[in-house]
Amino acid sequence: MEERIQKILARAGYGSRREVESWIKKGDITVNGQTATLGQKITESAKVVLRGQKLRLSTKLKTTPRVLMYHKPVGQICTRDDPERRETVFDKLPKLSSGRWISIGRLDINTDGLLLFSNDGDLANKLMHPSSEVEREYAVRILGKVDPDMLKRMRDGVELEDGKASFDTIKFKGGEGANQWYHVTLKEGRNREVRRLWESQGLTVSRLRRVRYGDIELDRRLRAGNYEDMPARRMRKLYESVGLSCEQEDSPTPKKRSNNENKKLNPWNKRKRR
């Protein structure tokens, strides 16, 4: 069965549809010896070459789909390769025998919290695409005096340099002075959008954490720098939420995975010792 090249390569885990489209535009992909074109339809038996490397489509398409829930700490970046050799989120993920991990959205270097990864590019594309309207929730600590007019403006919409932006909801979660906490939600993921909305009101975000992506919440027991495999039942619900099917079989509840480099407690979750 023929499928558009960006869809079949994404489904095989080589990258998101957007990444594949950028490779095609640059002329990095050939199909049966000819430069690939956007929207070109191919089968899994086609001879596809990416920057000189032949892709094993039929093998990759049979790979069992996986989704990881990762607690990104402050200080890590979401780029796969960094010229400055800073620590990236990909450094902490388990190795795959085939395919590669695709980040579902990003968080800036000063933001921590929930990041999802999958080896299924089709799922990643669906979850990130604006048409899916997947809700993100963030916990925000604010420096400065917040008044009702500011909150109303951020709900109604503020004109930023890349267009109008707004929060769907803003809820006060406690604190006073330099330690006021709010939870905000929105359905898009523009660069530093949460920070820029608060900054448009003359306020400073001193802490920012993503606590939810769609129906997936950050487990408080999952320490910064650690990841957990998503159980099959939750994966099926995640696929269904964006109109896809997942034939993953049920398996025992996975254990949380820890990295030896990140054994220290997350300072945000420290408990008082008695």
User: CA-CA distance, 33 to 125, in Å (whole number)?
Assistant: 27
| pLDDT mean over 92-121 | 91
Instruction: Report whether pLDDT(221) > 90.
Output: yes
Of the options 3.30.2350.10, 3.40.50.360, 3.40.50.720, 3.30.390.10, the CATH number for the domain spanning 135-213: 3.30.2350.10
Q: How far is CA 197 from CA 45, 156, 171, in A?
A: 48, 11, 15
pLDDT digit string, tens, across residues 63-78: 788 999 999 999 999 9
Burial class (CB in 10 A: 0-12, 13-18, 19+), 242: middle
- The model carries a pTM of 0.74
Q: How do 204-213 and 112-118 pair as beta strands? A: parallel
| pLDDT recorded at residue 18 | 84
Torsion of CA 66, 82, 208, 202, to 10 degrees: -140
57 or 113, higher pLDDT: 113
| pLDDT recorded at residue 257 | 55
Amino acid identity at 183: H
Instruction: Report whether pLDDT(130) > 60.
Output: yes
Domain boundaries, the chain: 3-61, 67-130+220-248, 135-213
| pLDDT mean over 247-257 | 50
Q: Which two tokens stand for residue 213?
A: 């992506």
pLDDT digit string, tens, across residues 12-54: 878 888 889 999 999 999 999 999 999 899 998 899 999 998 9
pLDDT digit string, tens, across residues 163-172: 999 999 999 9
Residues listed for the chain: 274
Active-site residue identified among 82, 91, 108, 149? 108
What is the CATH architecture of 67-130+220-248?
2-Layer Sandwich (3.30)
pLDDT digit string, tens, across residues 179-206: 899 999 999 888 899 999 999 999 999 9
| pLDDT recorded at residue 258 | 52
| pLDDT recorded at residue 104 | 93
Which residue from 147, 151, 144 is spatially nearest to 167, judged by alpha carbons?
Answer: 151
Which residue from 58, 59, 45, 50 is spatially nearest to 22, judged by alpha carbons?
Answer: 50
Amino acid identity at 211: V
| pLDDT mean over 112-135 | 92
User: CA-CA distance, 196 to 172, in Å (whole number)?
Assistant: 18
Q: Please check whether the two domains, 3-61 and 135-213, share a CATH topology.
A: no
Let me know: does 74 contact 112? Beta carbons within 8 Å.
Answer: yes
Q: Which two tokens stand for residue 194?
A: 């949460």
| pLDDT recorded at residue 253 | 44
Q: Which two tokens stand for residue 168?
A: 């769907």
Active site residue 108: yes
CATH superfamily of 3-61: RNA-binding S4 domain (3.10.290.10)
| pLDDT recorded at residue 269 | 41
